[in-house]
């Protein structure tokens, strides 16, 4: 759970809010933002965990709430095989202990950026997934980003709302040599 917690924080966690040292010419650091940059600080991303073999977490689908750094159960039971099927049969998704699914609510960014909203959300998902990949590497884990999947099937497996669009699947686990 500690490793999963660190990966979740790397993807979408809240940074510490604190004042910068007084000698910083540009004033106090505001903090309290997410670990991945977001256009206009509008945060369109939603992060799900499909857990199957995580010590201390029963198999199921969970949604991450960055404000409280907590997981909330969305679906019960191991859904990794269903997710692998939705990802055009990529069986290694099924064998990963946990899999992140990143979605976006475009309307959050559309309020400010109109038709460019989807582009900004796509850039943001790249930042968030890169953070997961870098953190996984630092923890001696293997991961990659998967983009080949059937959107409607992924939404059904993880219990996404109608306004959420799946953008990335990120399986995480120990590699073998």
Dihedral angle of Cα 67, 40, 11, 154, to the nearest 10 degrees: 100
pLDDT at 149 over 60: yes
Query: What DSSP assignment string belongs to 95-136?
Result: HSSEEEEEEE-HHHHHHHHGGGHHHHHHHHHHHHHHHHHHHH
Provide the sign of the torsion angle of the four alpha carbons 79, 69, 6, 24, taken in this order: positive
> Does some domain include residue 163?
yes
> Does some domain include residue 21?
no
Tally of CA atoms within 13 A in the half-sphere of 164 that contains its CB: 20
- What is the extent of the structural domain holding 130? 2-15+32-173
Residue 6 near residue 131 (C-beta atoms within 8 A): no
> Does some domain include residue 92?
yes
Q: What domain count does the chain have? A: 1
The CATH number of whichever domain residue 10 belongs to comes to: 3.40.109.10
pLDDT single digits (tens) 20-72: 455 444 444 455 688 999 999 999 999 999 999 999 999 999 999 999 999 99
> Does some domain include residue 154?
yes
Pairing of strands 98-104, 142-143: unpaired
**Residue 33: predicted pLDDT:** 83
Q: How confident is the model at residue 142 (pLDDT cuts 50, 70, 90)?
A: very high
**Residue 91: predicted pLDDT:** 85
**Residue 18: predicted pLDDT:** 53
**Residue 26: predicted pLDDT:** 44
> Does some domain include residue 147?
yes
pLDDT at 126 over 80: yes
The arithmetic mean of pLDDT across residues 152-160, rounded, is 98
Dihedral angle of Cα 24, 27, 31, 36, to the nearest 10 degrees: -80
pLDDT at 176 over 90: no
Q: Closest Cα partner for 158 from 71, 52, 82?
A: 82
> Does some domain include residue 87?
yes
> Does some domain include residue 26?
no
pLDDT single digits (tens) 81-121: 999 999 999 988 999 999 999 999 999 999 999 999 999 99
> Does some domain include residue 135?
yes
Q: How confident is the model at residue 168 (pLDDT cuts 50, 70, 90)?
A: very high
Tokens of 129: 């997934």
Q: 60 - beta bridge partners?
A: 51, 76
């Amino acid at each position: 759970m500690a490793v999963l917690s660190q990966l979740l924080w790397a993807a979408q966690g809240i940074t510490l809010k604190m004042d910068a040292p007084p000698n910083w010419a540009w004033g106090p650091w505001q903090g309290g933002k997410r670990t991945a940059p977001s256009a206009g600080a509008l945060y369109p991303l939603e992060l799900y965990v499909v857990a199957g073999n995580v010590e201390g977490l029963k198999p199921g689908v969970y949604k991450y709430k960055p404000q409280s750094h907590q997981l909330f159960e969305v679906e019960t039971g191991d859904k990794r095989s269903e997710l692998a099927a939705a990802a055009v049969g990529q069986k290694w998704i099924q064998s990963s202990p946990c899999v992140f699914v990143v979605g976006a609510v475009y309307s959050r960014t559309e309020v400010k950026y109109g038709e460019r909203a989807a582009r900004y959300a796509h850039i943001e998902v790249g930042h968030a997934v890169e953070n997961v990949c870098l953190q996984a590497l630092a923890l001696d884990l293997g991961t990659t980003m998967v983009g080949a999947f059937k959107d409607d099937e992924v939404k059904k497996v993880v219990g996404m709302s109608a306004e959420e669009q799946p953008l990335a699947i990120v399986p995480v686990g120990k590699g073998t040599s």
